[in-house]
Amino acid sequence: MKYIDPHIHCVSRTTDDYIYMARAGVVAVSEPAFWAGFDRSSAASFYDYFRHLTDVEPKRAAKYGIEHFSWLCINAKEAENVQLSKEVIALIPPMLSHPRVLGIGEIGLNKNTRNEITTFELQVDLAARYDQMILIHTPHLEDKHKGTDIICSILKNDRRIRPERVLIDHCEEHTLRKARECGFWAGLTIYPVTKVTPPAGCRHHGNVRNRHVDG
């Protein structure tokens, strides 16, 4: 079976992982921009990260016969710094015409703070102005439900955003319905244990994508 992994962070994957993915039938991946495991010190650091995503990683993936595509943004974990966020957002428009860039993502909220919401709105505006698809990261923390509600209402209130071009990712049993009711695509993060397991009572809807790797 051949399949696409729609959400993976290849920059933190080893060459062995690529071998296993290719062996398992992965023919293409899409990699959202995300947190590096530490807060970056400047927009220049993001510039190199975007080069890594758009130029370096596609070449690495190609060695294993895998097509690599990416999404650009400043992620929610670093969005608390609004000034830095603005500098990073300013870097993105010239890169949107890159043939391997799919859109803006994964944007969203982490702790649902005022600053995170400001940065999120700036990036929704960026996507709208450049007619880009949007990949949404919903909080992994206890406020996932509230964060998903805030994200959905901001997106719904922007008339320029077409719901069918938005994927709400990391949905769980209690947020899946909200995303679907708003007309967005919904992604489930599958874990071996804990979230979205049969005992947790998940019922799959239409337009739900599954995947095995998350970040």
| 140 vs 165, beta carbon nearer Zn ion | 140
| 140 vs 146, beta carbon nearer Zn ion | 140
Q: Does 215 bind Zn ion (CB under 5 A)?
A: yes
Q: Does 6 bind Zn ion (CB under 5 A)?
A: no
How many chain residues touch Zn ion (CB under 5 A)?
Answer: 2
| 39 vs 181, beta carbon nearer Zn ion | 39
Q: Does 105 bind Zn ion (CB under 5 A)?
A: no
Q: C-beta of 211: minimal distance to Zn ion in Å? A: 10
| 100 vs 140, beta carbon nearer Zn ion | 140
Listed in sequence order, the residues at least 6 apart from 129 whose beta carbon sits closer than 8 Å to its beta carbon are none
Tell me what percent of the chain is helix, strand and coil, each rounded to the nearest 5.
40, 20, 40
Residue with tokens 């709208």: 128
Task: Note whether 101 and 115 are within 8 A (CB).
Answer: no
Q: C-beta of 98: minimal distance to Zn ion in Å? A: 20
For residue 115, the SS3 value is helix
Listed in sequence order, the residues at least 6 apart from 105 whose beta carbon sits closer than 8 Å to its beta carbon are 32, 33, 71, 72, 73, 133, 134, 135, 136, 137, 167
- Interacting span for Zn ion (CB under 5 A) from 47-55, 115-123, 181-189, 207-215: 207-215
| 156 vs 190, beta carbon nearer Zn ion | 190
Q: Give the integer Cα–Cα distance in Å for 129 and 89.
A: 12
Binding mask 10-49 for Zn ion (x = CB under 5 A): ------------------------x---------------
Using a CB cutoff of 8 Å and minimum separation of 24, what contacts does 203-206 make? 205/176, 205/177, 205/180
Q: Give the integer Cα–Cα distance in Å for 141 and 197.
A: 18
Q: Give the integer Cα–Cα distance in Å for 150 and 40.
A: 26
| 38 vs 203, beta carbon nearer Zn ion | 38
Residue nearest Zn ion (C-beta atom): 215
Alpha-carbon distances of 64 from 32, 54, 60, 73, 115, rounded to whole Å: 20, 17, 8, 26, 40
The residues in 123-182 that bind Zn ion, with binding defined as CB under 5 A, are: none
Q: C-beta of 159: minimal distance to Zn ion in Å? A: 28
Chain residues binding Zn ion by CB under 5 A are: 34, 215
